[in-house]
C-alpha cells in the first residue's frame, strides 16, 4: 500500500485540555473516522463505530462511539485480554521515519485497558502501574452480558505524549504518524473484526503495520 492509497486522518490541535473526556464541546471540532471495514467472519455483523481524535500540548485524546445493542464486557483488570470482549483499539506509531514499533491501546466497553509496545512480531505489555494512571471515561461501568439499555456505548481516553516520548526516546513534534482504529469482540455472541484502514490478510490479525493509515497532526 503506497502513500497515495493509504487512508488519512487529520488530528486537530486544541489550546486547552478537555474538561469532560466524553462530552467536552471541543469534540465537535474533531474529524470523524469510521470503522466500517469488517473482514474474516462473513456473519453480517458490522456495527458502526465512530472515532474522534484531538491533541494538545500534553495528550492525544481518543474518543470511540460503538453502535451495538448487545455486548460482552467481563474483563475488569488492567492488561486483561479485553479484545475478547466488546472492544475498541487504537494503534499508533508517532515516529514512523525512525521506528517500526507501535503502541496498541485496547479498551473494552467498561473501560478496562490493555496496552502493548513493540513491532509486528514481538511486543511487550505496558506496565500496569503506568496504565493505572490513564484517564479513561466510559458510558458503562459494570460488567455486561447482553443488552444494556442503549443503542451505543462510548469510551474516551487521554494518551500522554510523555509516554510516547519515553517509549520511543524521541521528542514529539507533531509530525505525521501512522496507525489504525479497530473494533473487535473475539468471544462475544457474534465474533467480529472491524477496521478503519483495510487489511489484506487471510486470517484475523490487527498487527499488520504495513496497512496502517496516516495521521496528520494539524498545527
Q: What is the residue-level pLDDT of the chain in tens, covering all 219 positions?
A: 555 679 999 999 999 999 999 999 999 999 999 999 999 999 999 999 999 999 999 999 999 999 999 999 999 999 999 999 999 999 999 999 999 999 999 999 999 999 999 999 999 999 999 999 999 999 999 999 999 999 999 999 999 999 999 999 999 999 999 999 999 999 999 999 999 999 999 999 999 999 999 999 998
Domain presence at residue 71? yes
Domain presence at residue 13? no
Instruction: Give 100's contacts (C-beta < 8 A, 6+ positions apart).
Output: 93, 119, 120, 209
Domain presence at residue 151? yes
Domain presence at residue 209? yes
Q: Which domain does 94 fall in, by range?
A: 33-217
Read off the CATH number of the domain in which 156 is found: 2.60.40.1190
Report whether 88 contacts 155 (CB < 8 A): yes
Amino acid at each position: 500500500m503506497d502513500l497515495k492509497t493509504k487512508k488519512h486522518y487529520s488530528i486537530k490541535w486544541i489550546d486547552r485540555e478537555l474538561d469532560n473526556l466524553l462530552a467536552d464541546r471541543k469534540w465537535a471540532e474533531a474529524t470523524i473516522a469510521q470503522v466500517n471495514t469488517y473482514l474474516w467472519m462473513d456473519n453480517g455483523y458490522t456495527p458502526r463505530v465512530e472515532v474522534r481524535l484531538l491533541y494538545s500540548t500534553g495528550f492525544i485524546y481518543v474518543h470511540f462511539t460503538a453502535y451495538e445493542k448487545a455486548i460482552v464486557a467481563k474483563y475488569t483488570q488492567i492488561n486483561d485480554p479485553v479484545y475478547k470482549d466488546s472492544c475498541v483499539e487504537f494503534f499508533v506509531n508517532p515516529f514512523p521515519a525512525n521506528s517500526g514499533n507501535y503502541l496498541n491501546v485496547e479498551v473494552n466497553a467498561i473501560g478496562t485497558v490493555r496496552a502493548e509496545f513493540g513491532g509486528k512480531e514481538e511486543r511487550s505489555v505496558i506496565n500496569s502501574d503506568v496504565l493505572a494512571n490513564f484517564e479513561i471515561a466510559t458510558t458503562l461501568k459494570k460488567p455486561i452480558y447482553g443488552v444494556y439499555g442503549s443503542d451505543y456505548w462510548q469510551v474516551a481516553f487521554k494518551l500522554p505524549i510523555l509516554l510516547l516520548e519515553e517509549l520511543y526516546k524521541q521528542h514529539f513534534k507533531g509530525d505525521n504518524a501512522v496507525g489504525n482504529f479497530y473494533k473487535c469482540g473475539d468471544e462475544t455472541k457474534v465474533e467480529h473484526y472491524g477496521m478503519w484502514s483495510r487489511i489484506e490478510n487471510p486470517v484475523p490479525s490487527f498487527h499488520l503495520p504495513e496497512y496502517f493509515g496516516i495521521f496528520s497532526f494539524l498545527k
